[in-house]
Amino acid sequence: MTKVGIVGATAYTSLELIKILLRHPESEISYLGTRRMAGTKISEIFPVLTKIFEMPCSPLGEGKVPGDVDLVFMALPPTVSMQFVPQFLDAGIKVVDLSADYRFAEKSVYERWYKVKHTDPSHLKAAVYGLPELFRDKIETASLVANPGCYPTAAILGLAPLIKRDLIDTDDIIIDAKSGISGSGRTPTEATHYCERNENLEAYNVGVHRHTPEIESIVSLMGNSDPFVYFTPHLIPMIRGLLCSIYVQLKKEISNEEIRDLFNNLYGGEPFVRLSRDGTFPKTKDVTNTNMCEIAVKVVGKRVLIFSSIDNLMKGASGQAVQNMNIMCGHNETMGLI
C-alpha cells in the first residue's frame, strides 16, 4: 500500500487525483496540504466528495512534513512548487510535481522563460521528465518526477515516432493547440471569465507560451537537434479536453501506411496511447475523463499532419501523475486508471 499526500489540495488537479486515488486498490490518501484551508474537510471544498471522502486538510509550510506519507503529488503553481519540494525529498518522500519547476534539464532555460531564479538546482539535476512512453526506465528509479505539461504531453506523443526516425525537419514544427479552460486552473481571471470565453475563440501567448521550450527541449533530446517550434495555443469554451493539430515537413517521401505502421510500432504496446481508425480523427470527447492520448496521422503533400488529443486534467496532469506513481512505486502501470 502506498501512502499518498497531495500538496495544494484545493487545486483542480487535486480533485482529479482524489477521484483516481479513491479507486486505486494499492494506495491510500493520508495527507492533504493547503496554505489557506487547514482544518477544513476536503468535501467542503469539493462538495462532490460529500459522503465519499471527507478528510480534513492540513497546514502547509516549513517543518510541516507529514510522517505517514510515501509519495506526494505537488499541485502547486510553477515557481511556488520548488519552495516546498525539497522538504519532502529530504524527508525521504517521493515527489511527482505537476508544475513546471523541474521539467527543464537546463536551469537557464527555466529561468529565462519563468523569469525567476531556480531555488532548488540540486534536485533539478536529479528530476526525471515523467512521460512514461518515452522515459519509463528512468521513472522507475526516480525520487522526483516532473509531470509534463498538458500541451507538451499531446504534442510530444504526436511527434515522437517521426523524430526518433529522423523523418522531419525539426526546425519547422507548427503546433496549433486548443485547450478547455480548466487548463488555466481554478483561480478566475478576466481571460477565463465565462462572459469572455463563452462563444469566443482567440489565440493567446503567441510565440511566448512557456510550453514552447518544454516541447523543444524534449524534441531536442529525442532527435539530437536544435528544434524550432511554432506553438500557438487557444482557449476554447469547454471545461476540459485538449487537441493539438501539428504540421511538419517530411525529409523524404513516405506513404500514409508506412507512417501509420511507425506509430503502431511505437505505441502498439502502450496502454494509454491509441491510433484513430484510418480516415478518422481524434475527438476530445472520446478521451474525456480518461488517461488516453488518441492520435491520427495523415500525409498531405510534403507534410505530415498529426492530430493528438488528451483530457488536460487526466493524461495532461493527474492521470499521468498517477501513471508515474504506479511506475515509481512498482504498481501495475494502469492501476486506478482508464
Ligand X SMILES: NC(=O)c1ccc[n+]([C@@H]2O[C@H](COP(=O)([O-])OP(=O)(O)OC[C@H]3O[C@@H](n4cnc5c(N)ncnc54)[C@H](OP(=O)(O)O)[C@@H]3O)[C@@H](O)[C@H]2O)c1
Which residues here bind ligand X, judged by CB under 6 A? Answer: 8, 10-13, 34-36, 60, 75-78, 80, 98-99, 149-150, 182-183, 185-187, 312-313, 316-317
DSSP state, residue 182: G
111 vs 172 by CB, closer to ligand X? 111
CB of 22 to ligand X, least distance (A): 17
62 vs 199 by CB, closer to ligand X? 62
Hunting for cell 493520508 — which residue is that?
30
Q: Among residues 57, 150, 244, 293, which one is catalytic?
A: 150
CB of 84 to ligand X, least distance (A): 7
> Is 143:205 a contact under the CB 8 Å cutoff?
no
> Is 30:21 a contact under the CB 8 Å cutoff?
no
CB of 312 to ligand X, least distance (A): 4
C-alpha cell read off for 30: 493520508
Residue 119, Cα to own-chain centre: how many angstroms? 22
CB of 2 to ligand X, least distance (A): 20
> What whole-number distance in Å separates Cα of residue 284 and Cα of residue 165?
28
- Comparing every residue's Cβ against ligand X, the nearest one is 185
Instruction: Establish how many alpha carbons lie within 13 A of residue 45's alpha carbon, considering only the half-sphere containing its beta carbon.
Output: 24
Query: Alpha helix locations (H) across the chain?
Result: 12-22, 42-45, 81-90, 107-114, 121-126, 132-140, 150-164, 194-197, 211-223, 256-267, 319-329
10 vs 324 by CB, closer to ligand X? 10
Answer yes or no: 150 catalytic: yes
> Is 158:244 a contact under the CB 8 Å cutoff?
yes
30 vs 34 by CB, closer to ligand X? 34
CB of 114 to ligand X, least distance (A): 11
Q: Is 119 helix (H, G, I), strand (E, B) or coil?
A: coil
> What whole-number distance in Å separates Cα of residue 276 and Cα of residue 174?
21
Indicate the length of the chain as a whole number: 338
> What whole-number distance in Å separates Cα of residue 50 and Cα of residue 89?
32
83 vs 232 by CB, closer to ligand X? 83
CB of 165 to ligand X, least distance (A): 28
| Closest by CA position to 157, among listed 277, 251, 282 | 282
Q: Is 89 helix (H, G, I), strand (E, B) or coil?
A: helix
Instruction: Encode burial over 106-135: b for 16+ CB neighbours within 10 A, e otherwise.
Output: eeeebeebbeeebebeebbeebbbbbbbbb
40 vs 256 by CB, closer to ligand X? 40
CB of 159 to ligand X, least distance (A): 18
187 vs 198 by CB, closer to ligand X? 187
- Which of left, alpha, beta for 205 (phi over 0: left; psi -120 to 50: alpha)? left
Please give the positions annotated as active site: 150
